[in-house]
A and B are shown apart, each in its own frame.
Chain A
Amino acid sequence: MAAQVSGKPAESAREAVPVATVQTESARWSGDLVPTLVVVALLVLAIQVGSAFLPPYVMPQPLIILQATWEVLTADPIHIGITGLRLAAAVLFSMLVGVLLGIIMGVFPRLRPYLRSLVIIDTGIPALSWMLLAIFWFRDPEVRIFFILSVILIPFYALNVFDGIRALPREWVDMLESFRPRRWQVLRYLIAPHIVPYILTTTKAVIGYAIRMAIFAELVASAIGIGSRMSLAQSTFRIDKVLAWTLLLVILNLALQAAIASIDKALLKWRPEAAVR
């Protein structure tokens, strides 16, 4: 093996690469905060103005909505937890199955056309059809909601991961294959780390959609959860509660996006973010 030689970083000064304009994830988040607050303030103002001209059952005052928000937070926290758990279980399961399908499509060319056709057919089936079918097929509301969310979310992960594997540079594959790796080593050292950004991007893209679908599924298929509470609020003419739940859902979406951004930052610290001037 090599003798210990005291070296110095070669050509570090002469060859130093100028660092491009780089914007970190945290800088972008803090940069987004002020515009977000401005938009929120404008929305509150619009509701306040609207409530002055419209009856309270159409547009309640922002203060009433805030009171209703406090009420649902203190009286119905269990429903938030249940929706959150349903969402987490379905997203994690869809991620797992979708990533596996994407890898199989990317690595086994013979199975690819069949799986791809299956996934594409799935994407063509409307969410409402899945909801109605779930009501016919399953008695347990938990199974219904889990099924609806999974069949809707799996194709996003499968197709994006498959695209990620297709985008794997041939040069990297040749480099690793020059060491004669076993198949699982190609997966471990090349494919798995390469698809991480694709999984994170997919999660960021689908999380808002997944929340909407979860609420919708709860509305038609369950007696507990935020969706069912919103249905109850609607049937008892409590528009303040409908808006309160909506506000909480927006906050939930923002919190989840921030959580994914943190995971993104931790896992993709190797990736510089170049900003266009």
Chain B
Amino acid sequence: MSAAGNPVIELRDVRKAFGSNVVIERLDFDVGKGEIVALLGQTGSGKSTVLNIVMGTIPADAGSVRVAGSDPYRQFARLRGKLAVSFQTDRLLPWRTAVENAEIGLLVLGMPKAKARQVARTWLDRVKLTGAGDLYPHQLSGGMRQRVSLARALCVDPELVLLDESFSQLDHVTSQTLRADFASIAREFNKTCLFVTHRIDDAMEMADRVLVLRPGAGIALEEGIDASIRSSLQRRSALHDKIAAVMGAEA
């Protein structure tokens, strides 16, 4: 399960259990620089646990985890500015306007306020929120809030972007638009992305590579996805069915 070049994420024989419940066992995979990898799995397959381990919010019980050359849990502060997360919910702070929310990562990294504001506005433009920067979260729609959340993650120019079911709470059309916009930005700026989702369509739409997680074990299936697969209805459908079969079998 290796990526070409120097991997930004490198997991080796990772294990994680909560009490007697083994959530992850023998998990190995890499994500190379500039790659967009989707980690697919049914609810309870442990994909959020993998994401939390990569984020460094929980430690792995065994095995090795390296993110941008550091252990994300034990060397938590070393990933300052190298990693950003877009969550399932937008997590905007209600007392900050859209642009103030977008700039928060930059302020944490110590960028002067005026410069941070300028960068945040540029990214809001980039995610198609021109003119909405001075609105508060309650004045924005769900899709607009999620766009602010993406701008907030991209603002810090991270080496790695983690997406935790970022589009799953949006309606189909908005989700599709946002996915396409994000994938285009990620490719344009050569961002490395690990995208956790349970929706096969989301994964196939965005990812260069799809990994299907086996509950309590490792990766059950790994498939590369390129433009030829996306453009061929037949091949796309066949791959969709194959992934669905593996996910169904693992559920």
List the interface of chain A (C-beta within 8 A of B). Answer: 1-12, 15-17, 171-172, 174-181, 185, 189-190, 193-194, 196, 268, 270-272
Contact = CB atoms under 8 A, between A and B. Distances in A.
A10 B104 contact: no
Contact of A171 (B89, B129, B144): B89
B95 A270 contact: yes
B242 interface: no
Nearest to B152: A175
Interface residues of B, number: 51
Residue from B85, B89, B119, B138 having most chain A Cβ neighbours under 10 A: B138
Contact of B144 (A10, A172, A174): A10
25 contacts: A1-B157, A2-B123, A2-B154, A7-B128, A9-B132, A10-B128, A10-B143, A10-B147, A10-B177, A12-B132, A15-B144, A17-B140, A171-B91, A174-B87, A175-B91, A178-B83, A179-B81, A179-B84, A179-B156, A180-B79, A189-B107, A194-B95, A196-B95, A270-B138, A271-B94
A178 B156 CA distance: 11
B22 interface: no
A268 B93 CA distance: 13
B130 interface: yes
A171 B80 CA distance: 19
Contacts of A268: 95
A13 to B, nearest CB: 10
B142 interface: yes
A179 B144 contact: no
A174 B154 CA distance: 17
Contact of B141 (A2, A17, A175, A196): A17
A149 to B, nearest CB: 30
A8 B89 contact: no
Given A12-B141, A179-B105, A2 B130 contact: no
B126 A11 contact: no
Contacts of A9: 128-132, 144
Given A270-B94, A270-B136, A2 B128 contact: no
Contacts of A175: 85, 87, 91
Contacts of A3: 126, 188
B62 interface: no
Nearest to B87: A175
Which 8 residue pairs spanning A and B have beta carbons closest together? A15-B141, A7-B128, A10-B128, A180-B80, A175-B91, A178-B85, A179-B108, A2-B126
B61 interface: no
B122 interface: yes
Nearest to A189: B104
A3 B154 CA distance: 13
